[in-house]
Structure 1
Amino acid sequence: MKASGMFKGIVLGLLFAASAGYANAQSQEGSGYWQDIQKSGVLRCGAAVAPPHVIRDPQTGEYSGTFVDLCKKFASDALGVKAEIVDTTWDNIVAGLQANRWDLSMALNQNPKRAMAIAFSQPVVEYQVSGLYDKANPKFSQPPKSITDVDVAGVTIILMSGTSIDGTLSPQIKNATILRLPDIDATRLALSSRRGDILFDDSDSNALFSATGKDRWVTLNPEPAISKQGIAFGLRRSASYSDIQSLNFFIQEKSAIGEIDRIAKGYIDKLAGDIKQ
């Protein structure tokens, strides 16, 4: 009888523990990254300027861009809340997220250092270094496919001085001449005036400039790549796997139906029109 009583006690104890664990799991299901935002009614998106992904109108202070549109759509379509765009800088884009000043950081390059501090969604778009050249340039009668194809004596490569692209690409150049200039306007002017033959910059900047003369400029995306990273949403480390998957499924759908490409192209065309003016 004593042994039987002990056995019953153990069984009851196990059942109680299981029941408590189940109840705790149920309570946790009602609390999470997105559930907390739904309770507050607002999805806060941290914004540092990075056209065409994040654009700020200098006159009105209003934000637009590919990531801004996606933030608003995810807020309304997936969460049923309003989106609030929170102004920040690139120096604070990660720290502000960690400090819970906003819920998503927009248009972050994925890299190992940041991944130690925050979580990432899957890439929305890709960042890479591309080349831009005039299709009428006789030095490129055969379209180049790699850095080796442009690292030729007599070719002048245009770079913005002191950038990460300068630091990454310059050591690879053995035969071509490198023309380093102080800012993006100077590099574009050098390319347009044929002071140099090919401009290497991030693909977004080159896409914007290329759109100003679609019949003139040709883009080189080197294989192998000079530098290539995903550009994604950043989340706090408290986001669970299922939280991140919810955002990823949203991104996957918008990408599959071509909506992300359409949004991005619209902003690139608009910015290119502004540059022409």
Structure 2
Amino acid sequence: MTAAPTPSATLVRADNPGPMTLDGTNTWVLRAPGARACLVVDPGPDDAAHLARVAEVALGDGRGWVAGVVVTHRHADHTAGAALFAGAVGAPLRAVLPELCSPDAEPLRDGEVLDVDGLPIGILATPGHTSDSVSLHLPSDRALLTGDTVLGAGSTVLMERDGGDLGDYLASLDRLAAVCATTTTPVVGLPGHGPAIEDLAARVSAYRTHRLERLDEVRAALDTLVLPTATDDAVVSAVVGRVYPDVEVGLLPAATQSVRVQLRYLARGSN
């Protein structure tokens, strides 16, 4: 699937649907109208057909070129094809984590502004889903690429094993909301999975409400179950069973990750 939800952003969706990827990973090609150079965000899985489609969109009629490749976070559905793609188009690959960057590229910095052939793109650190998650601000389009921090459908899993943290996540939602508040026109969300979000501020607000409601459910489970410690695996399993009683088997690991993150948040005495 290829679509252009804003003037400077074209979506090329990978054919890797699943419970965690929804209808597939969204690869974004960012280019100012009429410009030749572009930035490719989240090349996606190591799928030759998908990477070929991305290259076709990025290079256009052969006069276009890729100024850089960026990944929003470490997960393989966003990064597995990144180094291969960057090498094929001769572009530097950048990420927050140095080990994901190409040898000649510096890690992404919070507050950095990339100028891609006249298109300014701001880098915002938005950890929480993972410790290295970033969002990209397209002020000219009144749009934000949110990676997996905010999805086009459903809710985001906070991955404890990858540095996911609820306190960080709530702060990141606040940061996205602050960017949305700088304009009276609704900001469009361009997520890592799912359709574009027409009003990102409204979605961010709903996400925050959902997170706090889940946290209340975890508190209630702890009170009801009278469990001894929030670090014991049996405790985590019991809380998962109480808070996510109907979770599908394939999503059980994600629910477990979320509960672990919430228990850690509560153990710190966070409100």
TM-score (norm. length: structure 2): 0.26
Q: Which has the larger radius of gyration?
A: 1
Q: Which has the higher helix share?
A: 1
